[in-house]
Each structure stands twice: as C-alpha cells, then as structure tokens.
C-alpha cells in the first residue's frame, strides 16, 4: 500500500485544450486497472475568469497551465508507461530521454496548489468596489456611455441599482459590477 506521503507530484504534458479529457482518461484507466493506491489525485489547475458575452457575465474556468495536468502519484513499475500510453498524453515534464519522470519540488507544488486555492478564494471575496451615492459610468450594455448614481448594492448577486438620467428622466437600472466603472 503506497501512502500519500510517498506520492510525489508530477507534471504530465497533455495536448493543449484536452487537459480535462486527459485527466478523465487517466482517472478511468487507473480505476480500470485497479491502481488507485498508486495515483492519489489528478489535477487540472484552473482559474475563474469572467467574460462578458452579449452583455451577460459568464463565469468560465480557464486552464491555468495550458497543456499540463498535475498528478500526485507513486510512479512505480508500469505506472509511467500506462500514463504515457493514455490518449492525449505527450509525456512527463522533466523526464530525460528514456529516464524517469522528475517530480516537482515541494516549493513548486505549494506554489501550484496555493495558486489553485488562492484563485478559488479570490473571486468570491472581492470587496465591493462601489459605494452608495457614488457616480459611475456604464461601460457595457444598451446604456453604454451613460453616467449614473449608485442607489443600492446587492452584494450577493454582485449587482448595483444605478439611477441613470435618460432623456432628462431618472431611470433605475440593475447592472452588474462588470458593466460599470468609476468616473
């Protein structure tokens, strides 16, 4: 029985854009061969990015290290060979021709895992960049270019109620944080 502490982190080079598929293939293959004792976890570090599509905010996960899949494993016996044989896997990072895969150093692992944690925390705890009564400018959507005043802040939905003067009349709009900027 290999203990988790015996397992080191390795980087598997994968076809770019196929990272999650490769992760699934590795997990399925390891399970299929009953080798879960040797492979602790397979990880594709991602970061949350917010894109605006058609005026709507879309949360997307973007692969943080394109072309790389992290694997925590005890690469004994046939394991490296099995992983290299998986569809979409190019090989291990740091391996010399015909040599053994080189594990990541502890500092690299911490940085990589720290990055993953830091990214998942970061997007949820963004301080509200606006205050009630503040003048803002709409930068996205049908009211692009209009200035308005922040009336209400809905922290949970990350939306603002903004009073905008349209044709001389004040009109309340609900806008996301991403649709406005400070003046």
106 and 28 in a common domain: yes
93 and 140 in a common domain: no
The domain total for the chain is 2
Task: Quick: pLDDT tens for 36-65.
Answer: 999 999 999 887 777 777 778 888 888 888
Collapsed DSSP state (helix, strand, coil) of residue 27: helix
Closest to 76 measured CA to CA, from 6, 145, 158: 6
Given 79, 100, 122, which residue is the final one in a domain? 122
Task: Quick: pLDDT tens for 72-117.
Answer: 999 888 899 999 999 999 999 876 666 778 888 887 887 777 765 5
**52's tokens:** 């605006």
Site of tokens 């991602």: 46
Query: For residue 165, what are the domain limits?
Result: 135-182
Given phi > 0 = left and psi -120 to 50 = alpha, else beta, which region is 63? beta
Indicate which CATH number applies to the domain containing 143.
2.30.30.30
Residue 130 covered by a domain: no
Global pTM exceeds 0.85: no
Distance CA 93, CA 102 (A): 7
């Amino acid at each position: 029985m290999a203990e988790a502490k015996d397992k080191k982190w390795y980087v598997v080079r994968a076809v770019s854009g196929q990272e999650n598929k490769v992760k699934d293939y590795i997990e399925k293959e390891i399970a299929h061969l009953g080798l879960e004792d040797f492979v602790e976890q397979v990880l594709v570090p991602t970061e949350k990015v917010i894109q605006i599509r058609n005026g709507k905010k879309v949360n997307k996960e973007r692969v943080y290290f394109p072309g790389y899949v992290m694997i925590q494993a005890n690469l004994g016996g046939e394991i490296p060979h099995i992983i290299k044989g998986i569809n979409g896997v190019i090989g291990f990072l740091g391996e010399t021709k015909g040599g053994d895969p080189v594990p990541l150093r502890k500092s690299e692992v911490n940085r990589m895992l720290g990055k993953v944690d830091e990214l998942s925390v970061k997007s949820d705890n963004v301080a509200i960049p606006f205050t009630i009564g503040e003048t803002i400018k709409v930068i996205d959507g049908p009211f692009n270019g209009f200035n308005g005043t922040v009336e209400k802040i809905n922290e949970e939905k990350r939306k603002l109620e903004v009073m905008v003067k349209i044709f001389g009349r004040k009109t309340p709009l609900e806008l996301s944080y991403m649709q406005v900027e400070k003046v």
